[in-house]
Structure 1
Amino acid sequence: MREWPVQDAKAHFSELLDTCLNEGPQVVSRRGEAKAVLVPLEEWNDLNKRATPSLKDILLADEPRFEMDISSRTNWTWRSVSVEE
């Protein structure tokens, strides 16, 4: 993965884009510190898909992905409802 100073990335954006598409993600740095990554769209979509599971993936998972705090019914407050015709 090549690192491009922001000035070079601006001046040679077409080359940066071609390198990204042919060789993979490219790092853009500012003042010697990595700040961003240019990745091919297909790879970006794949990463987003894996980061955001579908409802089916969540329901079929072996382990729960998150905890839900559901209070027991004994703590619920019940109120009366009148049904008028």
Structure 2
Amino acid sequence: MSLRSIALLSFCVLLAACSKVNQENYSKLSSGMAKAEVETLLGKPTDCSGALGMSSCTWGDQKSFISVQFAGDKVLMFSGQGLK
């Protein structure tokens, strides 16, 4: 295995280990938080959709994710799955 391949593999492992989608950050979420605060905590969402002042954003993937529902700019409710 070349040095370049080892470096790339190491980077990928470090990136996965540094995920902000974890139990520690999930426990910091609370109803009424501003959307900007959530994005500061979790980073840019993987997916967002919404209409009429309501929106739902997800961080993570199908196995490990945090989903947050917003009313306007404030957290209404949130859930998580597969967090470590």
TM over 0.5: no
> Which of the two has higher C-alpha Rg?
1
TM category (shorter chain) comes to under 0.3
Higher relative contact order (CA 8 A, sep 6+): 2
Give the TM-score normalised by structure 2. Answer: 0.25
More strand per residue: 1 or 2? 2
Give the TM-score normalised by structure 1. Answer: 0.25
